[in-house]
Chains A and B, each alone.
Chain A
Amino acid sequence: GAVVSQHPSWVICKSGTSVKIECRSLDFQATTMFWYRQFPKQSLMLMATSNEGSKATYEQGVEKDKFLINHASLTLSTLTVTSAHPEDSSFYICSARDAYSGNTIYFGEGSWLTVV
């Protein structure tokens, strides 16, 4: 089946630095990708929707200048957490919509971010 690869799986960074997470669709073209965050024992929260070649659409309450999303190709989207703080520590997951298979959505394995 279709695979979405997320990298890195784990990342620890110092407070104030930026960290980039990549999301790749390995065997399909994803015109739309989504970024979520999940705190322990809580539901997934959609952060933003990105369409290839255009600016991402952010959900209410998500700072677009802090969470930079780039979707420059049909197989790659990146999320950059800028000037990270400990409260940004979370589990970040991406997903990609395969428009050619009934809009099936596939999820990456997620990335654990710890800001110290």
Chain B
Amino acid sequence: KQEVTQIPAALSVPEGENLVLNCSFTDSAIYNLQWFRQDPGKGLTSLLLIQSSQREQTSGRLNASLDKSSGRSTLYIAASQPGDSATYLCVCTDKLIFGTGTRLQVFP
């Protein structure tokens, strides 16, 4: 059974830092891996989708990588801003297995 774990569970950093959020999965036979953010009391916003044949995707200050052999995906956030504060979730989209989430707080 696929299990998805995210480390750290919570992160609080000053504005401007470069961040690394980790996602690990137990079954490397995934199809797609997608990163989302969820603001308190709201739905999820898609950030990046990495298909199984891809190794990374970039969007603005965000970069996500996927290493299926090691069962890991990493989300890099460059030059963090207070507006980045949210919960970040990784999801194996073919089986809809959600990670445990990382609660990020960026303070001015």
Enumerate chain A interface residues (CB-CB to B < 8 A).
Answer: 1, 6, 34, 43-44, 46, 49, 91, 93, 95, 97, 102-110, 112
Contacts and interface: CB of A to CB of B under 8 A. Distances in A.
A103 B93 contact: yes
A103 B32 contact: yes
Interface residues of B, number: 20
A102 B45 contact: no
B93 A91 contact: no
Contacts of B100: 43
B43 A93 contact: yes
B107 interface: no
Interface of B: 31-32, 34, 36, 41-46, 49, 51, 89, 91, 93-94, 96, 98, 100-101
21 contacts: A1-B46, A6-B43, A34-B96, A43-B100, A43-B101, A44-B44, A46-B96, A91-B41, A93-B43, A97-B93, A103-B32, A104-B46, A104-B49, A105-B91, A105-B93, A106-B46, A107-B43, A107-B44, A107-B46, A108-B43, A112-B41
Contacts of B32: 102-104
A110 B43 contact: yes
A103 B46 CA distance: 12
A46 B41 CA distance: 17
The 10 closest A-B pairs by CB, nearest first: A107-B44, A109-B43, A110-B43, A107-B43, A104-B49, A102-B51, A93-B43, A108-B43, A105-B93, A103-B32
